[in-house]
Chain A
């Protein structure tokens, strides 16, 4: 057995284990962290395929950004586990149906002769994976690529607009205004005499 095979089976075992733990562990924070582990090992498997760009971007985007925000949300929510378990059996048939559908789709893709993975390992030494991917994306697939980015932009703006509500009792401040403040807006310098004449006090008092 080749060394890379050993690495593959170790990574695949970790990936499967963490994938199962994502859905079986009780604590949502643990589940999110197992998902991070799953992404990490998947990146390792992609590295074995010499797809270093995809592997590193998977870590950069999913582990470094998406999952951090996931963890944020999960950590701050007060999740009641019993309530989450309610209706488990009710949803099971639907979930099972979707699961079987997904498995069937994957099987179709894998069984298709036209979609067999190419043997990339010997070519990969010759050129830079990143540069080649960029070249293909910006020449052959320019239109679909730009279309996908526009779709993402629309989704991003939509998400922002959905959460943008003006509250009347909003007490947030505008840092831009605060930064713009000049001395004269806040401070008035008045010129006055250094000494003030003492008031004439009635004679005889306070002596």
Chain B
């Protein structure tokens, strides 16, 4: 240590800061990757049981090593480059899909003081990062130079852009209640038991947010972007091996991100539902786990939406609902019932 501090001289403080930040990033990304892998396992098991099957059960006890086996298989497969593709963009596509999915986690608080970057504009930052994620899809679809991939990319991009608006408006409701864009402060604004959580005064916004989140991550029943019966696998149809796996990782990381945000903004984050139990990171895990289970449940339950009805739902139903509820919240805050919205 002494030697190192001599080498770097006056910069030693900065070097320490950078190293410490890097360690924190690894401490977030590594568990995230592992949970993504096991979310795929959970999905197959849960849907399996819902359809009265067993699901993966060959690799390891209860099939627990299945995600590792899948990862290993994808890692060793050849990445096929279509002859007519745009080579540089073909490889940038998956990178642009996964980078924002992980970058957004920088401002997510896991506990009262467990956050990588405690910035004031946290919510805006997350919105910006999730809006950038659409580039991975568009670029992948265009660079593949294939009809199915391009159709899938256009569908998916239009869907993401549309539902982002409804999602953004629900966040406006949350920030009106919390009076802050800082995710940590939003959670702390919901202190004092589950009847203080924002999902009660903002119930319509909570529902709109969660359904938009399902659409935004291109999950069933809004998965027309990869509607197997129409366009094979959508924007990533030309991708194989690890490049395909990266898209897969990005999709599941996004699912976890939107569930995490829903838990933080509407379900009180790490706060315990009743005052006599201590607040803990475990509550957050439980809430996120429940929301992720809903994702899997939806997939096993609902048939796929038709494309024009997805657009109708987003533009003509959700956006008006959010606008009306924002006005209701703003109006109520001027009355004697303002305490309900804080």
Residues of A within 8 A of B (CB): 3, 29, 33, 36, 52-53, 56-57, 59-60, 63-65, 68-69, 71-72, 75-76, 128-130, 173, 175-176, 179
Contact = CB atoms under 8 A, between A and B. Distances in A.
A175 B121 contact: no
Chain B residues touching A, majority SS: helix
Contacts of A29: 89, 142
Interface residues of B, number: 27
Contacts of B14: 3
A64 B134 contact: yes
A157 B108 CA distance: 38
B132 A175 contact: no
Interface of B: 14, 89, 119-121, 124-125, 127-128, 131-132, 134-135, 138-139, 142, 150, 154, 157-158, 161, 164, 181, 308-309, 312, 316
Contact of B312 (A3, A57, A60, A176): A176
A75 B124 contact: no
Nearest to B121: A52
Given A72-B154, A75-B142, A175-B308, A64 B121 contact: no
Nearest to B150: A75
Chain A residues touching B, majority SS: helix
Contacts, number: 71
Contacts of B308: 173, 175
Nearest to A175: B312
A36 B135 contact: yes
Contacts of A57: 124, 128
Given A75-B142, A130-B181, A175-B308, A60 B131 contact: yes
Contact of A129 (B121, B142, B164): B121
B142 A60 contact: no
Contacts of B121: 52-53, 56, 128-130
